[in-house]
Amino acid sequence: MDGADAPVPGAYVVVVEASVPLPEIAIVADAQGGFAINLPDGTFRLRAEHDGRSGEVEVAVPATDAVRVQLG
Amino acid sequence: MAIESLTKPEATFEAAAARVAPPAKRHEGHHGPDGEVRSRSAEVFTVSGRGESIGFAMETVLGTDERKRVPDTDLNPWRKICALRIRGPGGTGAIGTGWFIGPRTVVTAGHCVFSQTFFGGWADAVEVVPGLNRLQNRSLVRPFGSTVSRRMSVLDRWAKSDDREPDFDIGCIHLDEPLGEKTGWFGFASLPPDELVAFMVNISGYPSDLGGGDEQHFAKNRILHVSERRVFYDVDTHGGQSGAPVWIHEEEGRPPLVVAVHAYGIGATPTALGIVANSAPRIVPEIYDIFEGWLDRDTQPTTAVG
């Protein structure tokens, strides 16, 4: 989401910290600004990036809700 | 336990059994159609031989970000490095990095073509863009064009690991179009751990955080540790650089020799090692043989590909 809480298609999402080994691939948000990663159980920090802006969120898996990352 | 290549089922070729190869094998690269012309930035950026650490680098940028943008991606060795645009079967998109080992053969990380975590299995298709660059006027340049492939291979141990064995995270994209004839390709080597230790390594790829995956960025530093199947280094990297070549120059003026495939940030480094480092699965003898097997297959006609 951007500052106006609008979805950001094409934003990159990377896992920057994890309690299990996860590789350095960058996922691309779809046309609705959504993304899906089938994370194993553990704790993770996800970072979203777009046009020089970024935001991070911590996730504990299994998670019950969808995750939203706010771009600063 | 022997490891093998596992090929996406649509491909025309079958996996071949890994053979045990002797240590310290070197496969020569190719400069490309214009000979040994090397970019000026490569002369300035890259490092050779063994040496002292340049400084602590983090997935990962470790300390001060030491990455440098590559300006002339149409020249050696940068043009042998490809931006990957990956599409999963459910429409998931991703970016990564690959590098030529032959006219039609691009090596990358296994998870860039097969990942339960990101694609639920095989990627659907990958667009390979050698030397992708963004000019000052913001326009994108593809100096050698690009091609899309649906034919991919990974190590079978990676495919069977449920993304849990970083040591085997290596894959390949097989091209119908011989784009590598325009760019040349990297040499690669299987070197014993005691030969690799303390070598200076070079890594260049397409990170998401600098240039949005459209610019190539380079960093270098010293190898910190070599395990049976992985190499650890404090070289700055980020998401999108998975699959990038980790290369050495054995001596000043010698051609680049890829020894590992970058894939992991600091989270995959065992705490028992007591170091903060990123890492890559090594080209060990059986991986070397699998690379040669991939090259052999890509010289065969591809008319019956589904």
CB contact under 8 A, A37 and B118: yes
Which residues of chain A make contact with B86, given a CB cutoff of 8 A? 25
Chain B touched by A22 (CB under 8 Å) = yes
What domains appear along chain A, each with residue ranges and CATH number? 1-72 (2.60.40.1120)
User: Residue B237: which of A15, A24, A35 has the nearest Cβ?
Assistant: A24
Check CB contact under 8 Å for B120 and A38: yes
Of residues B181 and B136, the one with the higher pLDDT is B181
pLDDT at site B8 = 82
Taking only the tens place, the pLDDT of each residue in B72-96 is: 999 999 999 999 999 999 888 999 9
Q: Is A35 on the interface with B (CB under 8 A)?
A: yes
Q: Is the pLDDT of residue B20 over 80?
A: no
> Where does the pLDDT of residue B18 fall: very low under 50, low under 70, confident under 90, or very high at 90 and above?
very low
- C-alpha of B63 from chain center: 24
Q: Cβ contacts (< 8 Å) between B59 and chain A: which residues?
A: 14-16, 24
Best residue in B59, B116, B158, B164 for a mutation probing chain A (most A CBs within 10 Å): B59
The CATH number of whichever domain residue B166 belongs to comes to: 2.40.10.10
Q: Is the pLDDT of residue B15 over 50?
A: no
Q: Does a structural domain hold residue B30?
A: yes
pLDDT of B43: 85
Q: Do A49 and B212 touch (CB under 8 A)?
A: yes
Contact A22 B207 (CB under 8 A): no
pLDDT surpasses 50 at B17: no
Read off the pLDDT of residues A10-27 as tens digits, 9 standing for 90 and up: 999 999 988 888 899 999
pLDDT, averaged across chain B? 88
Reported as a pLDDT band with limits 50, 70 and 90, residue B167 is very high
What residues make up the domain containing B229?
20-298
Inter-chain CB proximity A25 and B237 less than 8 Å: no
Does A30 contact chain B (CB < 8 Å)? yes
ipTM, interface predicted TM-score of the complex: 0.93
Give the pLDDT band of residue B114 (cuts 50, 70, 90). Answer: very high
Alpha-carbon distance of B37 to B20, in angstroms, equals 36
Label residue B253 exposed, middle or buried (CB < 10 Å: 0-12, 13-18, 19+).
exposed
For A40-53, the pLDDT digits (tens) are 999 999 999 999 89
Number of domains in chain B: 1
Please tell me the predicted confidence (pLDDT) of residue B280.
96
Residues from chain B contacting residue A54 (CB–CB below 8 Å)? 209
Q: What is the pLDDT of residue B98?
A: 98
Q: How many residues does chain B have?
A: 306
Distance from the Cα of A54 to chain B's closest Cα (Å) equals: 9
Whether B21 has a pLDDT exceeding 70, the answer reads no
- pLDDT for B52 equals 63
- Higher model confidence: residue B1 or residue B260? B260
Q: Which of A19, A27, A50 sits opposite B118 (nearest CB)?
A: A27
pLDDT score at B33: 87
Q: How would you label B49-61 residue by residue, b for 16+ Cβ within 10 Å and e otherwise?
A: eeeeeeeebbbbb
Question: With an 8 Å Cβ cutoff, are A26 and B94 in contact?
Answer: yes
**pLDDT given for residue B73 in this prediction:** 96
In Å, what is the CA distance from B130 to each residue of B105, B109, B166, B183, B266? 12, 16, 26, 8, 27
**B4 part of a folded domain:** no
Per DSSP, the residues of B54-77 read ---------SS---EE-S-TTSBT
Q: Which of A25, A30, A49 sits opposite B118 (nearest CB)?
A: A25
Please state, as a whole number, how many other Cβ atoms lie within 10 Å of the Cβ of residue B271: 6
Render pLDDT for B191-230 as a digit per residue (tens, 0 to 9): 999 889 879 999 999 999 999 999 999 999 989 999 999 9
Helix, strand and coil content of chain B, in percent to the nearest 5, comes to 15, 35, 50
**Average pLDDT value for residue range A55-72:** 88
Interface contact flag, A25 B109, Cβ < 8 Å: yes
Give the chain A residue whose CA is nearest to the CA of B281: A23
Give the lowest-confidence range in B15-29, B165-179, B230-244. B15-29
Cβ distance of A49 and B112 shorter than 8 Å: no
Q: Does A41 touch chain B (CB under 8 A)?
A: no
Report the C-alpha gap between B151 and B212 in whole angstroms: 26
The DSSP string of B81-102 is: EEEEEEE-TTS-EEEEEEEEEE
Q: Is the residue at B262 inside a domain?
A: yes
Three-state DSSP class for B112? helix
Q: Is A61 on the interface with B (CB under 8 A)?
A: no
Give the residue carrying structure tokens 């899309």: B148
User: Hey, is the C-beta of A24 within 8 angstroms of any chain B C-beta?
Assistant: yes
Task: Give residue B1's pLDDT band: very low, low, confident or very high (50, 70, 90).
Answer: low
List, for residues B37-67, the tens digit of each pLDDT value: 778 899 889 988 887 655 544 446 656 678 8
